């Protein structure tokens, strides 16, 4: 298998960086789901230990997951199979 080199952190987008919504859809929790994709140690470790960017990403994902749990929104996880 091909190894992934260590990755360099970058500034995460802030609220002012997110484009304005172009549709007028209302958020409907009963029709929503959260997908947490490829957050296992294998992929996260490519950012190095104690990476502030990944610590913020993980905190953001945890906050979204907690919100979903509080509002009965299903959460789904994906992971690569072990080789």
- Give Cα separations from 49 to 11, 41, 55, 65 (angstroms): 17, 11, 10, 23
In the set 17, 38, 41, 66, the catalytic residue is 38
Active site residue 38: yes
Residue 52 belongs to what H/E stretch? Answer: helix 52-70
Q: Identify each DSSP E strand in the chain by its residue range.
A: 34-37, 75-78
Give the residue carrying structure tokens 């009965």.
Answer: 72
- Annotated catalytic sites, by residue? 38
């Amino acid at each position: 298998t091909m190894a992934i080199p260590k990755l360099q952190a970058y500034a995460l987008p802030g609220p002012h960086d997110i484009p304005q919504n172009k549709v007028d859809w209302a958020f409907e929790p009963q029709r929503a789901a959260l997908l947490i994709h490829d957050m296992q140690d294998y992929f996260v470790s490519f950012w190095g230990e104690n990476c502030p960017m990944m610590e913020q990403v993980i905190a953001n994902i945890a906050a979204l997951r907690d919100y979903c749990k509080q509002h009965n929104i299903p959460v789904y996880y994906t992971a690569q199979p072990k080789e």
